[in-house]
Structure 1
Amino acid sequence: MKFDERHLIQLAAVVKTGGVTEGAALLGLAQPAVSRTLSMLEKRVGEPLFIRGRRPLQPTPLGLSLAEHGLVMLAASRKASDLVESFRVGKSGVVRIGGTPFFMDALIAGLCAEFQASHPDVRIDQNYGYFPDLRAALKADQIDLAICPIDILDEGSGLEFQQILPGRNVVACRVTHPLLLKRRPQPSHLLDYPWIAPPPGSPLLADLRALLLSFGATEIKIRYSGGSLMSVINYLKSADALTIMPHSVVFAQRKEKSITALPIAIPHPERALAILTRTDAPLSPAVEQFAGFVRSGFESLRHLIKRHEEAVVWGL
């Protein structure tokens, strides 16, 4: 004998609440419709499902056994409804992000943890890459959004970006670096020290070369290259080497009191940190929620960094 699952769910609701009216209200159905269902179900099985004359309604052993199957279906239905509603409001789902290593490690990873404190059912999958790789990953639908430095998009790229932080590089060093003892360190002083090269493919590498050429360097004294953010920081802490970093990355390390920025102004890159998305692919609610959270986080960070910059006397 095959049963209509909806009939078993209605039976379960009535058993659960102790009344036809209450069971109908639980399911959002009309009471007469549920009464007809119970009557049809009793005729189908040929046995009573409730003990006659008992209030609240009490199921017979057969009615209770059938209701137990309906309760499983009712619970599954409720879970499915809750899941859909959670997804619809961005409380569950998957966020696939890609970004440049230094920014992801220094700034985005912490925001991911903060976001999941209020969205614990959202999973975040993170990938590393620079603009060409991230652009390809977006177009191949391997990631939902990218967070990376960018200057301008080609016409017809099918992508759009929202700036979240203006570009600004600084020369980073350890907090006990000899240059910090100078009252007014000059750009020429930077050439007396070895350098850490940013990872290959990083826009920072081109920025470093352009910076040292503008200072009159004929060769670059590279002593360490290709490391992650953590390895670069650990190297800086133990040596008098210098490197170039986005000011926001150095600022994010301020509580560790291990590295800092030399108070020497250097040219700003013609780029901004931005959220990059496809124009032809609507974002899921969870991705929309995450992108908004990142924008809000960087809005606060931008004000903190600006206040810090205004407090520093930057040399020329």
Structure 2
Amino acid sequence: MKLDERHLVQLAAVVQTGSVTEGAALIGLTQPAVSRTLAMLEKRLGEPLFHKGRRPLEPTALGRALADHGQVMLAASRKASELVDDFRHGQGGVVRLGGVPFFMDALIAGMIAEFQHAHPSVRIDQSYGYLPDLSAAILADRIDIGVCPIDILDEGSGLTFQEILPAHNVIACGITHPLLLKRKITAADLVAYPWIAPPSGSPLLSDLHRILLWLGVSEIRVRYSGGSPLSVVNYMKATDALTVLPHSVVFALRRDKAITALPFDFPQPERALGLLRLAAAPRAPAVDAFAAHVGNSFATLRHLIKRHEQAVVWGA
């Protein structure tokens, strides 16, 4: 005998509440409709589902056994409804996120943690990449958001870009670097020390070349290249090496008291850090909520970084 799952759900609701009226209200039906279902079910089974004359309603052994099956379906239905509600309100789902390593590790990782305190049911799937990789991944529907610096977004790319922080690079070093004791740093001072080259594909690598051209320097001693953010920081802590980093990254790592910025100014790239997304993509509420959270976090961070920049005596 095949039973209608909806009938078992109605039976479970009545058994759970002990009343046809309350059971109907629990699952959004009317009392007459549920009463008809129970009468039809008893007729089909040829057995009573409730003991007569008992209040609250008391199920028979058969009624209890069938209600247990209905309760499983009722719980699954509730969970599915909650999942849909969470999805619609940005409280559930998956955000597929890719970004440039230094920004992801120093800044975005903490923002992910803050976001999930308020959205614990949202899962974040993170990957790394630079602009070409992130653009390709978005267009191929492998990620929803790319966090990266951009100078110009090609027209007709099918992507949108939301600026969250203007570019400002610094020459970074360990906090005990000898050049921090100098009142005025020169190009010759910078050349005298070893350098860490940013990874291939990183905009920081082209920024380093532009700085050298501006300084009139044809060559530097690159002792280390291609390291992860953590390895670069640890290398600078143990050596007198220099490198180019976004000031926001150095600012974010200031509490670790491992690296700092040299008070040396140079021309800045016309670039901005921002969120890269597919222009015509259907908007997933969790993705929109996360993008808004990152944007708001950087709005606050922008003022703190600006104050930190003003506290540094820049020279050239």
After the TM superposition, which parts of structure 1 deviate over 4 Å for at least 4 consecutive aligned residues?
A: none
Aligned to 2:291: 291
Aligned to 2:14: 14
Aligned to 2:35: 35
Aligned to 2:303: 303
Query: 1:65-144 counterparts in 2 under 5 A?
Result: 65-144=65-144
- Partners in 2 of 1:187 and 1:128 — Cα distance? 33
**1:20–1:35 Cα contact (<8 Å) kept:** yes
- Partners in 2 of 1:140 and 1:294 — Cα distance? 23
Aligned to 1:257: 257
- Partners in 1 of 2:128 and 2:295 — Cα distance? 20
Alignment of 1:236 with 2:236, yes or no, is yes
- Partners in 2 of 1:267 and 1:187 — Cα distance? 14
Aligned to 1:164: 164
Query: 1:176-215 counterparts in 2 under 5 A?
Result: 176-215=176-215
Query: 1:50-69 counterparts in 2 under 5 A?
Result: 50-69=50-69
Tell me the amino acid that sits aligned with residue 240 of structure 2.
D
RMSD: 1.0
Tell me the amino acid that sits aligned with residue 314 of structure 1.
W
| Secondary structure of 1:143 counterpart | coil
Q: Mean alpha-carbon deviation: is it higher for 115-124 or for 4-13?
A: 115-124
**2:50–2:59 Cα contact (<8 Å) kept:** yes
Gaps of 5+ in 2: none
Q: Mean alpha-carbon deviation: is it higher for 186-195 or for 205-214?
A: 186-195
Q: Mean alpha-carbon deviation: is it higher for 102-111 or for 13-22?
A: 102-111
TM-score normalized by structure 1?
0.98
**2:187–2:217 Cα contact (<8 Å) kept:** no
Q: Mean alpha-carbon deviation: is it higher for 252-261 or for 277-286?
A: 277-286
Tell me the amino acid that sits aligned with residue 194 of structure 2.
P
Once the two structures are superposed, what CA deviation does each residue of 1:262-310 show, in whole Å capped at 9, x if it has no partner? 1111211111001000011123111111111111111111110001111
Identity of aligned residues (%): 69
| Secondary structure of 1:54 counterpart | coil
TM-score normalized by structure 2?
0.98
- Partners in 1 of 2:57 and 2:194 — Cα distance? 85
**2:164–2:298 Cα contact (<8 Å) kept:** yes
Aligned to 1:153: 153
- Partners in 1 of 2:283 and 2:191 — Cα distance? 47
Question: How much does 1:157 deviate?
Answer: 0.8
| Secondary structure of 1:290 counterpart | helix
Question: How much does 1:101 deviate?
Answer: 1.1
Alignment of 1:246 with 2:246, yes or no, is yes
| Secondary structure of 1:102 counterpart | helix
| Secondary structure of 2:44 counterpart | helix
Aligned to 2:217: 217
- Partners in 2 of 1:15 and 1:154 — Cα distance? 63
**1:116–1:122 Cα contact (<8 Å) kept:** yes
- Partners in 2 of 1:194 and 1:281 — Cα distance? 46
Question: How much does 1:186 deviate?
Answer: 3.1
**1:187–1:264 Cα contact (<8 Å) kept:** no
Once the two structures are superposed, what CA deviation does each residue of 1:70-119 show, in whole Å capped at 9, x if it has no partner? 11111111111111111111111111111111111111112112212222
Number of equivalent positions: 316
**1:144–1:283 Cα contact (<8 Å) kept:** no
Gaps of 5+ in 1: none
